[in-house]
A and B are shown apart, each in its own frame.
Chain A
């Protein structure tokens, strides 16, 4: 049970969870099941973040994606009724050409990613990750930070407008 073995095992298990969850999200016939599998997928992604020592990112992944976004989707699914027995009739006359195109893209992506030298930063990870993020947000990235608040405001106003139209 060496370090490398444990790291690899954890990574493969988490990746399997992410991919399997994703497949079940799109292939499930029951929309609510899809939403719950989405939660599972996002939680596994948070696990992968933890493996990369990005603890802050993992925590806010769970907080925002699972706690807010996925929950919003579940609300949406629950509020639009008659979902449990939706028989999604897949009209798939072009199934085989589609499959061929997907395989081609898969090969293309794998070929492209295989030989790409990803630049991994040699700088050591900061000891206090969250604090480093905070400093960066306040100094280098102030403008995107304020723009985000405007973006959120736009989203809020949009939500209010849609609500009033109902």
Chain B
């Protein structure tokens, strides 16, 4: 039953276990002296003004959206890259069309100024 990913599962459990054990060890060893000032949120030594929300900034979301789209594209590229050598020129052309369509999309986003940070 031992497949390749058994090691992965064991690593996950052992890694988490060791990290949690280290935290537990630290909790036992370290001092704990809570004080109201220490419990405040950090804002460069001043008392925090307002809540911890920031202004809605759509550009973060746009970058995440672009990332999703290109990530899906990359996922399609993986199997193609593996069989590329054994298939003919046709496979290359197909992938070229695929990439070209998305590069066009990237170019469009670029021209529309969506990729600008400010």
Chain A interface, >50% SS class: helix
Question: How distant is the Cα of A82 from the Cα of B56 in the complex, in angstroms?
Answer: 11
The answer, among B86, B94, B102, B114, for a CB contact under 8 Å with A160, is: B114
Segment touching A, from B16-24, B32-40, B63-71:
B63-71
In whole Å, how far is B99's beta carbon from the nearest beta carbon of chain A? 8
Chain B interface, >50% SS class: helix
Residues of A within 8 A of B87 (CB): 135, 138-139
A102 at the interface (CB under 8 A from B): no
The answer, among B9, B57, B71, B102, for a CB contact under 8 Å with A149, is: B102
What are 18 of the A-B contact pairs (CB < 8 Å)? A3-B1, A50-B8, A53-B3, A55-B4, A56-B79, A63-B71, A64-B71, A76-B61, A79-B61, A130-B79, A130-B82, A137-B80, A146-B98, A148-B72, A155-B69, A156-B108, A159-B69, A163-B114
A71 at the interface (CB under 8 A from B): yes
In whole Å, how far is A65's beta carbon from the nearest beta carbon of chain B? 10
Interface size class of B (residues with CB under 8 A): 35 or more
Contacting pair A131 B82 (CB below 8 A): yes
B97 at the interface (CB under 8 A from A): yes
| A75 and B75 contact, Cβ closer than 8 Å, known pairs A138-B94, A146-B98, A159-B65 | no
**Closest 4 pairs (CB-CB, A-B):** A134-B79, A134-B83, A81-B53, A156-B105
In whole Å, how far is A143's beta carbon from the nearest beta carbon of chain B? 10
A69 at the interface (CB under 8 A from B): yes
Contacting pair B83 A138 (CB below 8 A): yes
Residue of B64, B73, B75, B114 contacting most chain A CB atoms (<10 Å): B64
B76 at the interface (CB under 8 A from A): yes
In whole Å, how far is B21's beta carbon from the nearest beta carbon of chain A? 21
Residues of B within 8 A of A71 (CB): 64, 67
